[in-house]
Structures are given as structure tokens and as C-alpha cells.
Amino acid sequence: MRIFFSKASLLVAFTLAFLSSSLLHAQNNFITGYVTDSISGEKLINANIYINEYTKGTASNNNGYYTIRTKQENTTIHCSYIGYSTKVLKIDVQKDTLINIALVPNLEVEEVTIEAKSSRFKNFTIKDIPIKQIKQAPAMMGEIDIQKSVQQLPSVTSTWAGFAGMIVRGGNADQNLILIDDIPIYNSSHFYGLFSVINENALQSARFINGSIPARFGSRLSSVLDITLKDGNRRRAEGEAAIGIMSGNIMLNGPLKNNKTTYSFSGRRSMYDLAATSYNLLAKKPLEGSFFGDATAKITHTFSNRDKVTISLLYSIDKYYNNSKKDYSIGNTTGELSQKQGYNWGNYILSTKWNRVHNPMISFSNTLFFSNFNHKRQNKEEFNSGSLDYNSNVEFSSTINDIGVRTDWQYFPHASHKFYFGINHTLHRFAPGSSLFYDNKDQAQEPIKRNLGSEKYNLHENISYLEYDVTISPIVSINIGVRNTLILSKEYTKLIPEPRFTSSITISEKSNLIIYYTHTSQYFHLLRTSILEQPTDMWVPATKNFPEEKANQAGAEWTYVHSSAYEVSIASYYKSMYNLISYKEGASVLPNENGWEEKMGKGKGHSYGAELLIQKKAGKLTGWIAYTLAWSKRQFNSINKGKEFYSPFDKRHEISITSNYQLSSNWNFGANWTFNTGMPYSMPAYSIKTFNTNEAIFIYTTKNNLRLPAYHRLDIGAHYTKKHRKHKKWENVWSFSVYNAYAKKNVYYRGMWGYFPAEASLFICLPSISYKLRF
């Protein structure tokens, strides 16, 4: 296999070199520019730009910049973007021409029927996430969550019902690359996994890739969620302040000096803990509660049409605390026992990026970034009396610090030929599962002091990638690329080539077929038990015993665009995964003396399925219907006696219906319905008495031998928007939602809890209300 990939990489490189050599003499004129929002002046990412005469168009990049090349002197270009009126421009192109396109938001939500053009088809299986629509979707406890909106797409399912974690095409929760302004984030959820850390107010755009992942993305096996934060309004300062039952948040953005610099800030803090803490203090009860908060900030300075610098920050924190004091006796000694138990976890990302459009053919961005993910648990006890004092302290912590630099280039020598290439170096510094024990309870003995697994691992990730995107004919275009990663660590050095291939075949003006093959790798593992999903689950680097995870995926996606409003796509895939890791039978999350490797087993998996997506993108009623038919299996030598078993996330059927209805300029209604086959879980088949102790033990015969009952849920919501009486530019927005409206008691956990079978259901009908002031 290794030889195959080495040869494949050489072949890809050779093909790229051969094809590119024939392009350098092409004589065309460029049309370049930025696509922006006409009101705020903010960039629009992934807007479609195409020329009537050509079958293939282009899309604006993460800076809203586009380049398209034409041989025609009189050219008509079309620019479209979800939620905006399509703009059609007739241009006389005698030479390279700069055309900035300002799109007008489609406030009246009229259903405009535009004849479908094959040039609107994308070259990859990319789904643009409609930010405006997800902000109007019903949200659990009023917390609008991009990850939960992505879960409504086919191929994506939640880790646990109601949680923000994503499982894509039978993968694992750690196989999704979540990029915030191009920087990966490790922990993307708040409040034990229930809400995303990505504040909806900070979102500019998002796109989701699940199949044909281009070579510019990597380091995860299954999917990419590429999120861009708001630059800020270039015309005027604006903001929002909101309060709901779960949290309060504020967002401010606007221009600074000369409209060349913009800022954007959003912050959020949980609210319910304030009330709980106050009550506990007044009632003199132990202080127990959870807290979460996050902040994002971005400053963008535009030096010229060519140069732009941005500084982005994301910070998130979660805490659980339980502090108590009570009178306590040890033997005849009475004193005060104080106990402190706590978990905290969080991320921060800081990055600075310089974007430059060097000339119409070449643009690049250079990025320097820092990232941190950390979590810590602590159990501390102190007993104080006049004659006897003891204390014990158990700490468990794990951190990842990343520092990296990357440069990404785009070179468009011809309308039909595009190159993407770049290099990236990241130093990952892992400190997985270091633990500290201190105990002097036994006064007669020396205090117990232990420090387990405090070793730190450095892992250097060196990446280079090259993508060649060529339109071979009016019907066929190809994206071929390779991503090479050189992993360097104290005990593990490896060069990992990842060939990628995607071909887009235009069947008719209204339909398109994408076929692809991707080979992906990731160099980190998330240690997560099958019993609990915890935000404090450890990330660990690839090692000799547990090398990089690998996946091969092949698939096809057929898209039919009936009009600008209706679109249907059908996809199928087969994915095989290797070097997956999982806790061995009997292993627990508690730290052991010999480190995490002893507890883990290595195995493989495969998944396959078909997906249907019917979308209505325009009109008063918008939304989509998604259906997924999927299988996902695993095989580990150390689990289930080496026999294959269903992945915990194997859900045979999954249906989601997402809808939004704009009744008037004041009222907007939304409803989501979700159904899926129950998840597999393990339950003992029998109990027996053992021959040696004659005590009853529970016998598991096969892993994941049963399935939970089918899950279904309806969420409904309404938004009422009204202009402020005094300040005409201000708006009051009241949002009402009911999560699980028909109170289905969905089981989210079933299994043995100690010596007893147990089950739990979460969120049985949860109404919420929130208020937002836009100014």
C-alpha cells in the first residue's frame, strides 16, 4: 500500500508538471475583484461567478476575491450568493479588468426563478451553510449552533442525541477538521458537548466538505467545516445584545479609521449559573454549578485592493465546580472538612494573516498562529482540626499547544487552469494525561506523592500540497492533487502522501456528476470511551504503536438544479479507515501508571451508504429534506474477540427536514424534524455466577449487541422582529422555540450503570425564549 501511494504521488506530480507546461502561453484577459455585501461592505465568501460563454465558473475565496479569465471582449458575468439578489454585469474586457461586485441582500425574499446554469456547479462535494437560515432555525435553549445545523445535512449525525459533536459518514468524532479562520480547533463544544463554542454572532460564512476533500485541506479523515469569522461592517458600527435562558451575548463590529480598518467582537457568557450560585449562597448550600463563556475578536486592516491583514482571536472556557465545607470526625477528632471538585477546559486561538493579491494570476496568504487546548480535573480535600490536619489532592490535566506558520498560494494562469499550493509547519506540543496525587491521610506513613505520565510529546507536522484544477472540455473538469505530510517526533518519523482526485462531469445544463477518490490521514487520536462523551477526553499524538489514522474514500454525487430555488443531490460513498483506536475491553478513562497506550487497541473500520438532499433555497419557504442510508462497522483484535461489530454511530436511516417560513417582515417561523435509527449499544446478554467466586457477573456476548429505540424529535421556533420605537435603525427580536415539541422521551444512554441496567433520556420538551436588540 505504501509503495502504491508513493507511486501515486509521483504520478500526480508528473501529471501536474506536464499539464501545466502547456498553459503558460495562453492569451486571455482577467476579470478580478472582490464580492461584497452592498450594505455592510463585508466580503462574501464562496459566491458563484461565471461567464455565460463558459461552462465552468469560479467562486470567491476566503477574502471574497475572485479571478476569472475570458477570451471574449464583450462578456456577461453572473454573480450569485445565497440570500442575495443575483447580479448580471456586461463588461467590455479589452485588458485585465478589476470589477468589485456588491451584492444586494434579498430582504424581500422573493422567489426569483433563474434558469439553472451548469456553470454554477461546484467542483467538489461542498455544501455552503446558509448562515442567515441557521440563525432563524429553532435552537435548543435558544443557543443557535452551527454544528447542530450541519448535523441536519445528510451524511452528518450527532455523537449523542442533542450534542454538538459530529459524526460524518461513519467516522469518529475526532475526524472532523473544524477551521476557524483557517486554524484548527480541538474542542468545539461547551457545556459537556451540548453547544458549539462558535458564537453565531461571529459567523461570516461556513462551508462543509464531506467527500471530495481538496488537497489544501487535511489532517483529519472525514470532513472539513471551514468557518470564517466576520471582518466587521465597513460602512457603520453596528451591534447586537441578546439574552436567553442559557446565556447572554453581545456583538459589536464596525469600521475604524478611514474605513480601512474594521473590527468585530462577540462575547457570550452562561447566565443560569449566576442564579444558581446566588441561590446556593443565600441558602448556605454547597457551591455547585457549571459555567461557560467565549469571545471572538477580529481586526482587519485593508492596505490596498491588494493587501489585507487580519488578526483573529477565539477564546472559550468551561468550568464545573463543587465546593463544600462540613463538620467531620476522624476517630475522636472533630474538625472541618472542605472538599473542592472541579473540571475546567477551554481553547484559545490567536492568528494573524496577510492576504495579498500579487497580480490577477497570483494571490497568496501567509498565516502565523497559536492554539491551545487544555483541560484539568481536580479533587481536593482538606481536614483541619486543632490536633490533626490532612489533605489530599488528585489532579489530572492534559494540554495541546500548537504554534504554526503557513503559506497558501493560488495561481490562475488560464480560465481553465488553476493551481493551489502551499506549505505549512505546525509544532504540536502534547502533554496528555499528566496526573498528580498527594495524600497524607495516613499520618503514620510518608505522604503519598505520585506524578504519572507527565511526559510531553513534540510532534512536528510539515505539510506541502499541490492541487491542479483543469477544465478539460465543456463537460469534464478535473481536480488532481497531492498532500504530503512529514511527521517528525522523538519516536516517530514518517512521510505520508495523500493523493486526491475529483472529476466533475456536466451531464446537462441542469445536472452534474462528481466522482472522487480521497486518501486522508490524521496524526492525532482522541481517546474517548464508548460509555461517556466528555469534553475532557484526551488528544494524543500518533506514535509507533498507534500510527496515523488513514482513510480511503471513493464516491459519487449527482446534482440536479431545477431552478435557483430547487436543487436535488444524490450521493453514495465507500470509506475504509485504518489505524483507528479505541479503549480495550475493561479499560477505563482513569489514568494508569503505564500511560494511555496500554489501554488502547488498534483497529480498522469501513462505512458505506447513500444520501439524498432536496433543497429549496429561495422563496418564503426555504429548507431541505435530507435522507441518509448508511452502514458503519469496526474491527479491533482486542475488542469483541476480534470479530467485526457495528460502530456506536451506525444509524441505518436518518431523515431530517429543515424548514423556515418568512410570514412577513415581522414574523419568521422555523421547524426541524429529525428521525434516526437507534444507536447500537452494549448490554450484557446474561448474568452468570463464576465457578471460582460464585458471584454473579454480567456477560457481554458481542459488542454493541442491541440498538436504542428509534430517535425522533420536532423542534419549532418563531422570531418576531420589530423596529425600535425611538431608534428607527434598531430592531427588537424575540425568539421562541420548543425543542422536542411533542415531548418524545428519546433514550440517549442505555447500559450497565455499576451493577444495574440503566437508561437516561435528555431534553424532554424544552421551551425557551430569548431577546435580542440589534443596533
Q: Rule CB under 8 A: is residue 684 a binding residue for another protein? A: yes
Nearer Cβ to another protein (386/586): 586
CB-hemisphere CA count at 13 Å for 203? 25
Nearer to another protein, 281 or 760 (CB): 760
Pick out residues in 301-340 that bind another protein (CB under 8 A). none
Closer residue to another protein in complex, CB, 270/521: 270
Minimal distance, residue 585 CB to another protein, in Å:
4
In this structure, the number of other CB atoms found within 10 A of the CB of residue 621 comes to 15
Cell matching residue 70: 475570458
Report, in Å, the least distance between residue 697 CB and another protein: 5
Residue 637 as a binder of another protein (CB under 8 A): the answer is no
Q: Which is nearer to another protein, 19 or 245 (CB)?
A: 245
**Which position among 706, 721, 723, 773 is part of the footprint of another protein (CB under 8 A)?**
706
User: Does residue 434 bind another protein (CB under 8 A)?
Assistant: no
Cβ closer to another protein: 11 or 758? 758
Interface with another protein, residue 14, by CB under 8 A = no
Euclidean distance between the first and the last CA atom of the chain, given in angstroms as a whole number? 59
For residues 368 and 697, which CB has a smaller minimum distance to another protein in the complex?
A: 697
Which one, 115 or 593, has the nearer CB to another protein? Answer: 593
5 φ, ψ to 5°? -70, -35
Least distance between another protein and beta carbon 681 (Å): 9
Q: Mark the segment that binds another protein (CB under 8 A) among 30-38, 541-549, 611-619, 753-761.
A: 753-761
Sign, CA dihedral 141-372-456-520, equals positive
All cell numbers assigned to 159: 455523537
β-bridge partners, 426: 404, 461
Chain centre to alpha carbon of residue 62: 17
| Site for another protein contains 759 (CB under 8 A) | yes
The residue within the footprint of another protein, chosen from 21, 387, 664, 694 (CB under 8 A), is 694
Q: Which of 434, 538, 430 is nearest to 187 (CA)?
A: 538
Rule CB under 8 A: choose which of 280, 702, 730, 773 binds another protein: 702
Radius of gyration of the chain (CA): 27
Tell the smallest beta-carbon distance from residue 743 to another protein (Å). Answer: 8
Beta strands in 181-283 (DSSP E): 183-184, 189-190, 195-196, 203-209, 223-229, 238-244, 247-255, 261-270
Please name the residues in contact with 758: beta carbons below 8 A apart, sequence gap of 6 or more: 749, 750, 751, 752
Residue 360 phi, psi (nearest 5): -55, -20
State which of residues 88, 274, 405, 758 lies at the interface with another protein (CB under 8 A): 758
Task: By CB under 8 A, name the one of 14, 279, 667, 686 that touches another protein.
Answer: 686
Take residue 196 and report the three cell numbers written for it: 458549539
Instruction: Return the residues of window 570-609 that contact another protein according to CB under 8 A.
Output: 583-594, 598-599
For residue 258, give the 3-state DSSP assignment.
helix
One character per residue 726-745, x = contact with another protein (rule: CB under 8 A):
--------x-x--------x
Measured from the CB of residue 292, what is the shortest distance to another protein in angstroms? 16
Q: Which of 53, 98, 757, 775 binds another protein (CB under 8 A)?
A: 757
Task: Report in angstroms how near the CB of residue 156 gets to another protein at its nearest.
Answer: 24
The distance of closest approach from Cβ of residue 273 to another protein in the complex, given in angstroms and rounded to an integer, is: 14
Residue from 685, 727, 729, 775 in contact with another protein (CB under 8 A):
685
Among 73, 472, 688, 727, interactor with another protein by CB under 8 A: 688
Would you say how long the chain is, in residues? 775
Q: Residue 711: exposed, middle, or buried by beta-carbon count in 10 A (0-12, 13-18, 19+)?
A: buried
Interface stretch with another protein, choices 297-305, 386-394, 500-508, 684-692 (CB under 8 A) = 684-692
Nearer to another protein, 663 or 760 (CB): 760
**In the complex with another protein, which residue's Cβ is closer, 664 or 694?**
694
Residue 537 beta carbon to another protein: minimum distance, rounded to whole angstroms: 13
Beta bridge pairs of residue 632 = 607
The reply to whether 445 sits near another protein by the rule CB under 8 A is no
State the cell numbers at 380.
481536593
Least Å distance, CB 757 to another protein, is 6
Cβ atoms < 10 Å from Cβ of 279: 11
Binder of another protein out of 707, 712, 723, 744 (CB under 8 A): 707
Is residue 438 involved in binding another protein (CB under 8 A)?
no
Helix (H, G, I), strand (E, B) or coil at 173: helix
Is 274 a binding residue for another protein by CB under 8 A? The answer is no
Give me the 123-162 binding string for another protein, x by CB under 8 A, dash otherwise.
----------------------------------------
Closest CA to 218 of 456, 477, 424: 424
User: Of the candidates 69, 431, 409, which has an alpha carbon nearest to the alpha carbon of residue 215?
Assistant: 409
Q: What's the per-residue H, E or C state across 481-550?
A: EEEEEEEEECCCEEEEEEEEEEEEEECCCCEEEEEEEEEEEECEEEECCCCCCCCCCEEEECCCCCCCEE
Distance (Å, whole) CA 310 – CA 202: 15
Contact between 164 and 193 under an 8 Å Cβ cutoff? The reply is yes
**Among 27, 491, 664, 691, interactor with another protein by CB under 8 A:** 691
> Which of positions 486-545 make contact with another protein (CB under 8 A)?
529-532
Grid cell listed for 764: 424532554
CB 436 to another protein: min, Å: 15
- Shortest reach from residue 645's CB to another protein, in Å: 9
Stretch that binds another protein, among 64-72, 84-92, 503-511, 700-708 (CB under 8 A): 700-708
Q: Report how far residue 325's alpha carbon sits from residue 337's, in angstroms, rounded to the nearest whole number.
A: 6
Nearer to another protein, 381 or 759 (CB): 759
Q: Which amino acid is at 245?
A: I
φ/ψ bin of 142: left (φ > 0), alpha (ψ from -120 to 50), beta (otherwise): left
Q: Is 417 in the site for another protein (CB under 8 A)?
A: no
Cα 740 from Cα 245, distance rounded (Å): 17
Q: Does 667 bind another protein (CB under 8 A)?
A: no
Regarding 756 and contact with another protein (CB under 8 A), the answer is yes
Measured from the CB atom, the residue of 79 and 540 that comes closer to another protein is 540
Instruction: Give the C-alpha separation, 402 to 210, whole Å.
Output: 25
The three grid cell numbers given for residue 684, joined into one nine-digit string: 450484557
**27 near another protein (CB under 8 A):** no
Give the nearest distance from C-beta 702 to another protein in angstroms. 6
Contacts of 600 (CB under 8 A, 6+ apart): 525, 527, 546, 581, 582, 583, 584, 587
Taking CB under 8 A as the criterion, which residues in 639-658 touch another protein?
639-641
Report the residue from 11, 696, 724, 742 that binds another protein according to the rule CB under 8 A.
Answer: 696
Question: Which is nearer to another protein, 65 or 320 (by Cβ)?
Answer: 320
Q: Which residue has the cell 506536464?
A: 18
Measured CA to CA, the distance from residue 112 to residue 94 in angstroms comes to 33
Smallest distance from another protein to CB 636, Å: 11
Q: Count residues binding another protein (CB under 8 A).
A: 70
CA angle 577, 578, 584 (to 5 degrees): 110
Of positions 637, 709, 729, 742, contacts another protein by CB under 8 A: 709
What Cα–Cα distance (Å) separates residue 663 from each residue in 618, 666, 671, 770? Answer: 14, 8, 13, 20
Q: Does 761 bind another protein (CB under 8 A)?
A: yes
Determine the Cα–Cα distance for residues 519 and 524; give it in Å rounded to an integer.
16
Residues in contact with another protein by the rule CB under 8 A: 245, 529-532, 583-594, 598-599, 639-641, 682-703, 706-707, 709, 734, 736, 745, 750-769
